[in-house]
Structure 1
Amino acid sequence: MSATRASIVAELADELLGRTVPYTLRVAVDGPDAAGKTTLADELAARIGTTRPVIRLSIDQFHRPAAVRRRQGVLSPAGYYHDSFDHDAVIDKVLRPLGPGGNGHYLPGTFDHRTDSATRAATERAPADALLLFDGVFLLRPELSAFWDVSVYLHVDPEVALARARVRDLAVFGSVTEVERRYRLRYLPGQRLYRYDARPAERADVVLDMNDPLVPVVVRR
């Protein structure tokens, strides 16, 4: 990390550590594909975890079955936005039990999209004073937004996201041509639907411009 990125991560971590609630603090790290959500959440977890217990989860552990994800078509933007993830499970198995009045027992995942099968993860108990760092796309959609105590949104321009995806997702899709086809027809338009529907950059507590990941720009905090 550059000093600039390190200082932003440190400041954000300190802000989160300063939040005290009588339950698990639920933090969303949201943003489009290839924005750097997982990396930032991992950096925050590493820093916060030296002081406070961290629960580290991702929307990728709550996919729906492939037949549901693709029922509107493999390249459908609406299908990507509406059908990809089991938001009811995220709410019922994670956000409610970790939130006000919850019992602190959460499920770390429900579905493995790589095998297209349900996971057999056991229910876990949140430690006292724990902090949940949950990363993924579409986390500030209307049905989820009220459950976060703090939300961070990472902005990247669509062409920047696509340039990163050409490298990151090459092994997944097999060729640069297929990466570009998927992004231009499904993922980027799906993100446009999300921005129109949920206005995540307006809802989020913190907005970071991550077009240059080494020198993030604080848009709002």
Structure 2
Amino acid sequence: MGITPVTPELLVADVTELVAARPGRVRLAVDGPPPTAPRALADAVAIGLRARGRATVVVDTADYLRPASLRFELGRTDPDMFLDGWLDVGGLRREVLEPAAPDGSGRVLPRLWDARTDRAHRDSYVDLPADGVVVLAGALLLGRGLPVDLAVHLRMNEKALARRLPEDERWTLPAYARYATENTPEKIADLLVLADHPDRPAVQRYELRDKDCGRGGS
């Protein structure tokens, strides 16, 4: 288990290969705070997988937040609620991750809730084939029972995160600190990416194993 410096392009290739090596449907979580750009990595991996003939749907957790009346119940800048109460975990399981399981229906809803308008999206379901892939991108994903098959964690240390977060988002720092301590995402991830400098990442690979800890069932 060593640390290997890589370029952003090699990181995309590495994650793509990690998924492509698995037969059947795959549910990949790309987890990291906004400055690590998990959605950008997810989109790039999706392009690589589609080029290999694997139908891939990218789901952004920003489209699976709970309604404002629930998210902001304790105020708009409560870090504990940000960690524990913003993400619609039930919706993700029901509309994305359980249908994308090997024995699931394959009917995946890419977007559920528009947080900007605080209304439901009007997306249509996508039918995922037997070897299709769902890439779930966002922050604070691991250790909360989401049923995924592979996980990549983009880790940025507290000082780097404080520097790179916009000033109006720094109230979330205690949530990320709690997440690192309580959820220990690096112990759940199949691939840990050291992303203090996103243009110069390094990867720390773990042997693939049954990591039920922090993940749901199938």
Q: Would you say same fold, with TM above 0.5? A: yes
Deviation at 1:114, TM superposition (A): 0.7
Question: Is the 2:102–2:130 Cα contact (8 Å) retained in structure 1?
Answer: no
Counterpart Cα distance in 2 of 1:111 and 1:57: 12
SS in 2 for 1:143: coil
Deviation at 1:100, TM superposition (A): 3.0
Deviation at 1:164, TM superposition (A): 2.7
For 1:122, the equivalent position in structure 2 comes to: 124
For 1:169, the equivalent position in structure 2 comes to: none
Unaligned stretches of 5+ residues in structure 1: 167-175
Question: Is the 1:111–1:118 Cα contact (8 Å) retained in structure 2?
Answer: yes
Counterpart Cα distance in 2 of 1:4 and 1:110: 34
Question: Is the 1:29–1:133 Cα contact (8 Å) retained in structure 2?
Answer: yes
For 1:8, the equivalent position in structure 2 comes to: 11
Question: Is the 1:62–1:110 Cα contact (8 Å) retained in structure 2?
Answer: yes
Counterpart Cα distance in 2 of 1:106 and 1:120: 13
**Does 2:198 match 1:213?**
yes
For 1:111, the equivalent position in structure 2 comes to: 113
Question: Is the 1:210–1:217 Cα contact (8 Å) retained in structure 2?
Answer: yes
Deviation at 1:218, TM superposition (A): 0.9
Worse-matched range after superposition: 6-15 or 97-106: 6-15
Counterpart Cα distance in 2 of 1:74 and 1:61: 18
Question: Is the 2:27–2:101 Cα contact (8 Å) retained in structure 1?
Answer: yes
Worse-matched range after superposition: 156-165 or 89-98: 156-165
Provide the TM-score with structure 1 as the length reference: 0.84
Provide the TM-score with structure 2 as the length reference: 0.85
**Does 2:60 match 1:58?**
yes
Question: Is the 1:61–1:110 Cα contact (8 Å) retained in structure 2?
Answer: yes
Deviation at 1:215, TM superposition (A): 1.6
SS in 2 for 1:56: strand
SS in 2 for 1:108: coil
For 1:148, the equivalent position in structure 2 comes to: 148
Deviation at 1:115, TM superposition (A): 0.6
Count of aligned pairs between the two proteins: 201
Question: Is the 1:33–1:161 Cα contact (8 Å) retained in structure 2?
Answer: no
Two-structure CA RMSD over aligned residues (Å): 1.8
- What is the one-letter code of the residue matched to 2:86? S
Residue by residue over 1:44-86, the C-alpha shift from the partner in whole angstroms, topping out at 9 and shown as x without a partner, is 1122221121111111110111121111222211110111111
SS in 2 for 1:142: coil
Stretches of 4+ aligned residues off by more than 3 angstroms: none
